[in-house]
Amino acid sequence: MPKKSRGATRRLKKVTPVPLMQMISGFWASKTLASAVELDLFTKLSGRHADVHQLSQLLGIHPRPAEMLLSACTALGLLGKRDKRFSNSSLSEEYLVKGKPCYFGGVVTLLDRRLYLPWNRLLEALRTNRAQTWEDHSDIFEQISSNLDKQRLFTEGMHSFSVQSGKALAAAFDFSQYTQLLDVGGASGAYCIEAVRRYLDLRAVVFDLPTALEITQEKIAESGFSDRIITCPGNFFTEELPKGSDVILLSMILHDWDPERNLMILHKCFNALPSGGTVIISELMMDDNKAGPVSAALMSLNMLIETEAGRNYSWAEYTEWLEKTGFKKIERIAMESPGANGILVGYKS
């Protein structure tokens, strides 16, 4: 057999198990981050430098585990270290300090407390096609709304998640030609807050279950936009959507349900819009061949853990539903955010 040239040998990429090790140990990093947030490490360290002994006292833990946690956070890029003293990295200072406008710790806590143990039962979910975060047969949001502590954990977590996605959406889509945005299942109101912040003539309505809206009203008041954002209680399965808005947003809503229910929701959006109105679907979109991206594919598995019939759908599937509902001139707009990689826009003629 002819020998391979030296150049061809160099071009062969060696396969190693390192990527597998990175995958299987991924929870080490997530639990490190979640534990640091739970201990309030980044808030306590904000604007200062401290050594292991000082931080062990601040955190209320023994110096041995304190040093291990600090080393791990430094290796993960969450802390910086100089002359035996630690400080927040720019990432942590911006997103993990409580009270800052872009605080992301809420979603860290939500995923850790609500999803870490249920994901340990992924094999059970795969074998049974059953959700793992709740036991009865009510839907996920009825289950959350029945407990005030669960409702606050969920809504606060989604707010941390949605602020960044709301900023990305407001930058990716031009709301300047619209007068009022209706956010269906709008949770904390983060998308409406970011939209009216950027577009000074826009008004907004958050439509959600009454228990969720109690927290929404707090967030709207804190934002200073109570004069431009209102809330409207309701259930989009049992009630019609309120009219009067010329653009409707469905952000991370349709991945919770099966195609039949999603078509029902889209029909209600169509009926609520005036002629010339617009609907926006914002999601982690699967590629049309459903081979990725990773964020959407893993979120889809999360819908197996969380819901009875949800999944992440492809651009093509959403497009088909929009056209079937009656929307025209469907547009795909890519964007980058924690909660969505793109939006689909449909117009009512």
pLDDT in tens, 276-295: 999 999 999 999 999 999 99
Report yes or no: 191 and 166 within 8 Å, Cβ to Cβ.
yes
Q: What pTM does this model have?
A: 0.89
Give 332's strand partners.
344
Q: 4 pLDDT band (50/70/90 cuts)?
A: low
Averaged pLDDT for residues 192-203: 97
**Averaged pLDDT, 227-245:** 96
Active site residues: 255
- 179 pLDDT higher than 80: yes
pLDDT, tens digit, for every residue of 110-125? 899 989 999 999 999 9
Arithmetic mean of pLDDT, 309-321 = 97
- For the cut 60, the answer to whether the pLDDT of residue 274 exceeds it is yes
Q: d(Cα 42, Cα 28) in Å, to the nearest integer?
A: 18
Span 38-48, average pLDDT: 97
Structure tokens at 262: 């999603």
Residues 182-198: what's their mean pLDDT? 94
Q: Which two tokens stand for residue 129?
A: 């096609």
pLDDT on residue 141: 65
The reported pLDDT for the residue numbered 42 is 98
215-219, 254-258, 319-323, 333-337: segment of lowest average pLDDT: 215-219
Res. 8: pLDDT tops 90: no
Tokens 């992924």 belong to 122
CATH 3.20.20.70 fits 18-95, yes or no: no
| Cβ–Cβ < 8 Å for 247, 203 | no
* Structural tokens at position 241: 């959507």
Q: Give the separation between CA 52 and CA 339, rounded to whole angstroms.
A: 35
Range among 4-8, 11-15, 75-79, 100-104 with highest mean pLDDT value: 75-79
pLDDT per position as a tens digit, 239-260: 999 999 999 999 999 999 999 9
- Read off the pLDDT of each residue in 217-232 and give the average, rounded to a whole number: 95
Instruction: Report whether pLDDT(1) > 70.
Output: no
Cis? peptide before 293, omega within 30° of 0: yes
Q: Where are the domains of the chain?
A: 18-95, 134-347
* Distance in angstroms (rounded) separating the CA atoms of residues 105 and 92: 10
Spatial contact of 157 and 111, defined as CB atoms under 8 Å apart? yes
Confidence band of 188 (pLDDT split at 50, 70, 90): confident
Question: Mean pLDDT of all residues in the chain?
Answer: 92
Least reliable range by pLDDT among 108-117, 199-208, 273-282: 108-117
User: Has residue 158 got a pLDDT over 80?
Assistant: no
Joined tokens for residue 347:
């117009």
User: Which residues in 16-88 belong to E strands, given as ranges?
Assistant: 79-82, 85-88
Judge whether residue 3 has pLDDT over 80: no
Is residue 229 helix, strand or coil?
Answer: strand
State the pLDDT at residue 46.
98
Query: 134-347 sits in which CATH class?
Result: alpha beta
pLDDT class of 101 with cuts at 50, 70, 90: confident
Res 145: pLDDT: 63
pLDDT of residue 159: 76
Q: What is the reported pLDDT for 187?
A: 84
In terms of Cα–Cα distance, which of 96, 94, 75 is closest to 86? 75
Of 137 and 79, the one with more pLDDT: 79
CB 159 within 8 A of CB 191: no
CA atoms within 13 A on the CB side of 48: 12
Predicted local confidence at residue 135, as pLDDT: 58
DSSP H helices, 173-307, are 190-198, 210-223, 259-272, 294-306
Q: Mind listing the pLDDT tens digit for each residue in 297-308?
A: 999 999 999 999
Cβ atoms of 88 and 267 closer than 8 Å: no
Whole-number pLDDT of residue 153: 74
Cα dihedral 89, 93, 97, 103, rounded to 10, equals -110
Contact in structure between 231 and 184 (CB atoms under 8 Å) = no
Q: Per mean pLDDT, which range of 76-80, 214-218, 322-326, 333-337 is the poorest?
A: 214-218
Q: 5 pLDDT exceeds 90?
A: no
